[in-house]
Each structure stands twice: as structure tokens, then as C-alpha cells.
Amino acid sequence: MILLVKMLNTIAPLAENRKVKVNLIDCPSNHSFVKADRQRLKQVLLNLINNSIKYNRSNGTVTISTKTINEYDKPEVIRVSISDTGPGINPDDLKKLFKPFERIGAEQTDIEGSGLGLAVVKKFVEAMNGKVGVESEVGSGSTFWIELPVTESQLKLIAGTPTISASEKEMSEKIGTVFCIEDNSSNIELIEQILDSQRPNIRLISNTNGKQVVSMCIDHKPNLILLDLNLPDMHGAEVLELIQNNKETKDIPVVIISADAMPQQLNKLLNNGAKKYLTKPLNIIEFLDVIDNFIPSIKHKTN
């Protein structure tokens, strides 16, 4: 949940504008990791924190806290709670909160909104195998919370992944270039860590924008392209089409890496030329198998 710390700068201007103080309670669970899609989790947290600021009172407070919940015979989860000092919510209205187009107390405020926010929060959290809820007392404020399953740091998982044996390494070394198109620095760092520790002779280059992919491929001639779908300038499907339509890049294998595991999307991209579709969070063994399938080996002679 280190993501929480990084998000404080994002919401600071809104909090300052509405004269609301935001506090993140320091506790050990802030440094835990949850199994979730980073982008969707960020959207969920921003939505809940922004609401707690917008619907607060002037000179009010927002308190963000986390805790580990470990109940008997249930998977361990992290609960993130976001509490405000706003007017609170009538008990009869609580059950309407997560329904589309329901804006509780809209007639009492001049704050604009579509009413879609909390419905999307619920959809995203449940898609990540989590839970969402709210507790409120009229006149005292509200607390919205989400729960997500605990996982280990991806880097710890890498450290626990067995490397190839010395004899195998002497027989075959993977040497080549992988081009990663990804706008999330944490995901790029993860892939870099995997390759550094497991396939040290593979060079990684990266870029965040889709429009530059073809020219960079022509310059660097990668053996494999790893393509995220949610890029800042265009969708990954469009990038795949650009690669496929250029005679100098059309034969470079493209592997999609995305949190979107919907079968319709997966099948469409595979039919359009992608060689493989990996979902986030990455399965390291599966990822290395893909690398080994597309990166050439330098064979060593044996006596």
C-alpha cells in the first residue's frame, strides 16, 4: 500500500482548495502489498479520497488508515479506511450509495457529479476479489473502506524463484533485447528485476508512448515486444496495429501484458497478431517461459 503515500501529493491541491486536512496514519500495514491492478486501485482510492474531501466541511479532516485483518479460516486482507468529518449519511440512504446514478443529498449541495463514482468503485473492487463498505453517523461523518487480499512483494517472489542450474546455463544462454511499452514505472522496474536476476544477458529497453514504438523498434531491433494496453497517448490495440502494418516491424513477436483479462479482449488481440496474452500481476514462471520461447539461445560447445 505504498501507493497511498504517493497519492497524497495528487490530492493535495483539492484538499488545500477546500481547506481540508488529510492525514495518513502511520502503521506497519502501510508497507504491505495487496493483490490488485495498480491502475484500478489508484482510481478507487482517488475516488474515495476525493469524495471525502469534496463532501467534507470547511476546515474538516480526512483520515486514511490501514490495518491487517486475519480472521480464522479466511484469507488475510488489508482494509483501507477513509474517514471524513462531513455531515454523515442517513441510514436509509446507505444502501443506495453504490448504485449507478444515485447521488445522496444532491439537492443539498452544489457539487457536480454523475453519480457513477461509487458504482465504479464497487465494480473495480469486486473485480479484484475485494470488498467495499461504508459506515456513517449523521452529523459526525462517514468512513468508506475497501478490503483486498494480501500478497507478497513481486520482488520477494522473484528472489524466491529458482534460477536455471549451472549446467543448463553453460549449455544455453539467452541473449537478446526486449522492448517494453509501459507507462507504469513500477511495472517496468519489476520486469527489469526479473530479467536482471533470471536472464542477465537480456537487454531491456522501455518507452511510455505508443506512437514512438515503430521508430524505436527500427532503431533497436528487439527480439520481443511487451505491450501494455493502457498507454497515455493511444490504446495498445492501436499500437499492435502499427507494428503489424510496418514491413520492418511486422515480424517482431508482440506479447500483451495487461490487467484486463476479459476473454473478448484477449481473443481479439490474439486474432490480430499478438503471440501471447499475460495478465497482471505477472506470474513469473509463465513470464520467463514466454521470454525463453522468443529470445534466441547461444549454444555452447561441450567436450
Query: Which parts of the chain have pLDDT scores under 50?
Result: 104-116, 164-168, 170-172, 300-303
Please state whether beta strands 77-84 and 131-137 pair in parallel, antiparallel, or not at all (unpaired). unpaired
Whether the CB-CB separation of 15 and 21 falls below 8 Å is answered with yes
Can you identify the CATH homologous superfamily of domain 154-299?
Response regulator (3.40.50.2300)
**DSSP letters spanning 234-248:** SBHHHHHHHHHHSTT
**pLDDT in the model for residue 171:** 35
Residue 8 C-alpha cell reads as: 497524497
Q: Is 101 left (phi over 0), alpha (psi -120 to 50) or beta?
A: left
The pLDDT assigned to 258 comes to: 85
Give the pLDDT confidence score for residue 156 in this predicted structure.
61
Do 2-151 and 154-299 have matching folds?
no
**According to the model, what pLDDT value does residue 221 have?**
93
Pick the CATH number of 2-151 from 3.40.50.150, 3.40.50.720, 3.40.50.2020, 3.30.565.10: 3.30.565.10
**pLDDT computed for residue 65 by the predictor:** 92
Reduce the DSSP state of residue 203 to 3 states and report it.
Answer: strand
Q: What is the pLDDT of residues 69-125, one digit of tens each?
A: 887 777 889 999 999 999 998 888 887 888 765 554 444 444 444 334 888 899 889
Q: Can you give the pLDDT at residue 207?
A: 92
How many separate helices (H) and strands (E) can be counted in the chain?
Answer: 11, 13
Q: Domains of the chain: which residue ranges?
A: 2-151, 154-299
